[in-house]
Amino acid sequence: MKAEVDMNKGVAERESHLWNAMHKHDPDAKKMVAVSGEGSWFKDEEGNAYLDGVSGLWCLNVGYGRQEIVDAAAEQMKKLSYFPLTMNHQPAIQLANKISELLGAAYQTFFSNSGSEANETAFKIARQYHMQTGNPGKYKFISRYRAYHGSTMGAMSATAQANRRVKYDPSAPGFLHVAPPYSYRSLYSGTPEEKDLRAADELEEMIQWEGEETVAAVIMEPFISGGGVIIPSMKYIQRVADICQKYHVLLIMDEVVAGFGRTGKMFGFKHAAGVQPDIVTMAKGLTSGYLPLAATAVKAEIYEAFKTEGKDNHLRHVSTYGGHPAACAVGLKNIEIIENENIVNRVNELGESKLIELHDLMNHDNVGEVRQVGFLLGLEMVADKVTKEPLSDAKMGEIVGRCKQKGLIIGKNGDTVPGGNNILIIAPPLTSTEEDLDFIIETVSSVIHSM
Ligand code: PMP
């Protein structure tokens, strides 16, 4: 085996020992190798340009190629290349303080490297918190079907999509799942809000049936993203928060996708007035993907239970690279850009003046529903609008493939949901220009109309 790769050979002919993520082992999938990126666009080795309509893996909030972020990382690496957070360094303190400010209340932040780890950290904190506050029996976690919370064993156990789990089960004990607020395919009748509130009732019932003394936390995204862009009524989120409070169950808000402007607020939960989660997990948009970094922010009251004062109460959890100084410096610069460029308002305005045009596709026979919050869109594709039969995998693949041929990368909820992977996903960088957004609208519309 040679380590050097013959770059003169086409990608498909090259010997590659790279194992791609979520990759069906067909040679076609390997044909594109990205080499550079600028704004919302990246280029492959052959010079083809693509608009990245899913922001990498929903993470490139401020787009590719921001020199000021590169500089922030380089300067920090020159100053202090590494330091563990068993002690302190300045960028980590500054970023933790900034996160607390943005969340709008006093939170204490633990840093790690990925969204999965941020959620694992939240689970450990939740269990230990209950143990140290007189409720050692509270160990169960409730999440919603269709949710994705990560790939590691605990986070996968909270992920409630059979296809992501069946080959790796048994997953961790103590993870329970309840129906999502998915009004388009609800078992209940009524307005979307009424249907969503029934989903909240089911969650309350689950806590009662399981015994509130056994339930540690509910973990939820404000808007289920990977599981199909499901946008509940805000009353649902408020009601879940109330239920959590009533049964002394912690509310873990997974802001890995929604955080840092994606939905037109700095955090997705801020759409639901009065909700202040006990724990907030974040990753992706925290650094816009420039370096790996994730955070688990915990309300000050919860952190109190970990103060030692002679007891052995501290959190027995550590991550070698979590809160790497360069990653924290990048996080701070990234947030500075989001604030200085008024990106959250921009997402609101352009979401409503531009991307909203995609709702016109509702006139098409195969578009069952268009769901949107800010720069996060899901198009639920159906073979039949009355029966709501999901559009076939083959047709979904064709739509995504044709967009790619035209230079636009969009996503579909990947191989996850029983009955179909029938939701197209559009989540461009939050800095996309109006022309970029026009290109997305035109390309997606023309491809769907040509089907
Ligand atoms: N939570 C959510 C909502 C996610 O979408 C993801 C990743 N797509 C994760 C957690 C896990 O993040 P990571 O891939 O960084 O582990």
pLDDT-derived band of residue 154, with 50, 70 and 90 as boundaries? very high
Q: For the residues 115-139, what does the mean pLDDT come to?
A: 98
Contact status, residue 142 vs residue 176, Cβ threshold 8 Å: yes
Q: Could you say which of 298, 319, 340 is where a domain stops?
A: 340
- Ligand 1 centroid to residue 154 C-alpha, Å: 13
Residue 355 and residue 246 share a domain:
no
- Ligand 1 centroid to residue 117 C-alpha, Å: 9
In this structure, the number of other CB atoms found within 10 A of the CB of residue 435 comes to 10
Residue 114 near ligand 1, beta carbon < 6 Å: yes
Q: In what order do the strands lie in the sheet with 49-52?
A: 34-38, 41-44, 49-52, 408-409
pLDDT tens figures, 111-124: 999 999 999 999 99
pLDDT-derived band of residue 13, with 50, 70 and 90 as boundaries? low
Residue 291 and residue 431 share a domain:
no
**Beta strands in 97-228, from DSSP E residues, in sequence order:** 107-112, 140-144, 175-178, 215-220
In a domain, 46, yes or no: yes
In a domain, 335, yes or no: yes
Residue 213 and residue 115 share a domain:
yes
Residue 182 and residue 132 share a domain:
yes
Residue 150 near ligand 1, beta carbon < 6 Å: yes
In a domain, 101, yes or no: yes
Residue 221 near ligand 1, beta carbon < 6 Å: yes
Task: Identify which of 445, 448, 440, 334 has the alpha carbon closest to the alpha carbon of residue 52.
Answer: 440
Residue 353 and residue 226 share a domain:
no
Residue 379 and residue 233 share a domain:
no
Size (the chain), residues? 451
Residue 385 and residue 256 share a domain:
no
pLDDT exceeds 80 at position 7:
no
Question: What pLDDT score was predicted for residue 301?
Answer: 96
Q: For the residues 93-121, what does the mean pLDDT come to?
A: 98
In a domain, 10, yes or no: no
pLDDT-derived band of residue 28, with 50, 70 and 90 as boundaries? low
- Number of structural domains in the chain: 2
Residue 97 and residue 166 share a domain:
yes
pLDDT-derived band of residue 93, with 50, 70 and 90 as boundaries? very high
Q: Given ligand 1 and candidates 141, 284, 293, which is best to mutate, with the most ligand atoms within 8 Å of its CB?
A: 284
Residue 279 and residue 223 share a domain:
yes
Q: 């390309």: which residue's tokens?
A: 443
Please give the angle made by the CA atoms of 178, 179 and 180, to the nearest 5 degrees: 115
Could you tell me what percent of the chain has a pLDDT over 90?
88
In a domain, 11, yes or no: no
Question: What pLDDT score was predicted for residue 8?
Answer: 63
pLDDT tens figures, 44-58: 999 999 999 999 999
In a domain, 13, yes or no: no
pLDDT tens figures, 208-262: 999 999 999 999 999 999 999 999 999 999 999 999 999 999 999 999 999 999 9
Residue 259 near ligand 1, beta carbon < 6 Å: no
pLDDT-derived band of residue 196, with 50, 70 and 90 as boundaries? very high
Q: Given ligand 1 and candidates 111, 116, 279, 293, which is best to mutate, with the most ligand atoms within 8 Å of its CB?
A: 116
Question: What pLDDT score was predicted for residue 99?
Answer: 98
Q: Could you say which of 340, 366, 384 is where a domain stops?
A: 340
Residue 148 near ligand 1, beta carbon < 6 Å: yes
Q: Could you say which of 309, 340, 371 is where a domain stops?
A: 340
Closest residue (by CA) to atom 13 of ligand 1?
Answer: 115
Residue 199 and residue 105 share a domain:
yes
The DSSP annotation for 211-253 comes to -GGGEEEEEE-SSB-TTT-B---HHHHHHHHHHHHHTT-EEEE
| CATH code of the domain in which 318 resides | 3.40.640.10
Query: What DSSP character marks residue 390?
Result: B
pLDDT exceeds 70 at position 420:
no
Question: What pLDDT score was predicted for residue 48?
Answer: 95
Question: What pLDDT score was predicted for residue 88?
Answer: 97
In a domain, 17, yes or no: no
ipTM for this model = 0.99
| CATH code of the domain in which 422 resides | 3.90.1150.10
pLDDT exceeds 60 at position 427:
yes
- Distance (Å, rounded) from C-alpha 219 to C-alpha 127? 13
Q: Could you list the residue range(s) of the whole structural domain that residue 179 is in?
A: 68-340
Give the global pTM.
0.97
pLDDT tens figures, 315-340: 999 999 999 999 999 999 999 999 99
- Ligand 1 centroid to residue 328 C-alpha, Å: 19
Q: Which residues pair with 218 in a beta bridge?
A: 142, 251
- Ligand 1 centroid to residue 177 C-alpha, Å: 18
Please give the structure tokens belonging to residue 94: 């500054």
Residue 149 near ligand 1, beta carbon < 6 Å: yes
Question: What pLDDT score was predicted for residue 106?
Answer: 98
In a domain, 6, yes or no: no
pLDDT tens figures, 157-177: 999 988 888 899 999 999 999
pLDDT exceeds 80 at position 416:
no
- Ligand 1 centroid to residue 116 C-alpha, Å: 6
Residue 175 and residue 104 share a domain:
yes
Question: What pLDDT score was predicted for residue 299?
Answer: 98
Closest residue (by CA) to atom 12 of ligand 1?
Answer: 115
Residue 254 near ligand 1, beta carbon < 6 Å: yes
Average pLDDT of the chain to the nearest whole number:
94
pLDDT exceeds 80 at position 398:
yes
Residue 99 and residue 189 share a domain:
yes
In this structure, the number of other CB atoms found within 10 A of the CB of residue 113 comes to 19
- Distance (Å, rounded) from C-alpha 272 to C-alpha 98? 21
